[in-house]
Amino acid sequence: MRKGPVGKAHNFVVWVHRADLLTQLLHQLQRDSFAASGEPENGKQRPVDVVLDNDTRWLSQYYMIKRMLRLQPVYEEFIAKAKRLFRDARKGEGGQNLPPCLEESSFINESDWAVLGTFDEILSDFHVVVQAFEFLLGRLEDAKSRTERHPEPEQFCVNINLGWKKLDKYYNTLRDSPAYYAAAALHPSLRWDYFDEVWG
C-alpha cells in the first residue's frame, strides 16, 4: 500500500479498477449525483471510470489525480457503500477484516484532497507546456526531414537548429518552476529518488 495523498489515491484507483462490482457502484453513485443536482446539463453526463496511473507514462499520475478530483463528490458515499457491500458479502465468516482500502488510514481526508488539488493546479500548467514542447519538437523534426527537398537545405537546417536551441533554453528554465519539482516527484522513473540523489 502506498502512503501519502497521491499514494492513497493510487491505492483507491487500483482497488476500484480491479473489481467490476466497485466500478458499477462508482458509476451508479455518479448517475445518482447527476440526477440529484437538478441541473439539466448534468442529466446528459456519463459516469466516468477511475484512471489508473502507471510507471511508464509521463504525467499518468496527473491524469489519475484529475479524475480523482472529479470523483471527489461521490467518494465518501462510495466508501460507505463499499464497506456495507463487503460486510454483507462476508457475513457468517466471522471476524473478517476489512480490505486495506477500507481501513481508516487509507481514506482520502480533507487535507489529502487539498494536496491533490494543489498537485492538479501545478501539473495542469506543466501538462500544457509538455504538450506544447512535444508538438514543437515534432514540428521541427518534420521540418528537418522536408528541408532535403529544397535547393538550399543548409539555410533551413541552421534555422531549425536555432529553433531547437531556443526550445532547449526554455525547457531548461522549467527547473525554476514548482511544476518542475512536482513533475520530478510524479515522473515514473524518478519519483522521490530524484530529490534524494540531487539534494541527498
**Furthest CA-CA distance within the chain:** 83
Cα gap 171→161, rounded to integer Å:
15
Tell me the pLDDT tens digit for each residue of 93-144: 665 678 888 999 999 999 999 999 999 998 888 788 777 777 877 787 788 7
pTM over 0.75: no
pLDDT of residue 14: 95
Tell me 59's DSSP state. Answer: T
**Domain residue extents for the chain:** 4-117, 122-199
Output the nine-digit C-alpha cell for 83.
Answer: 464497506
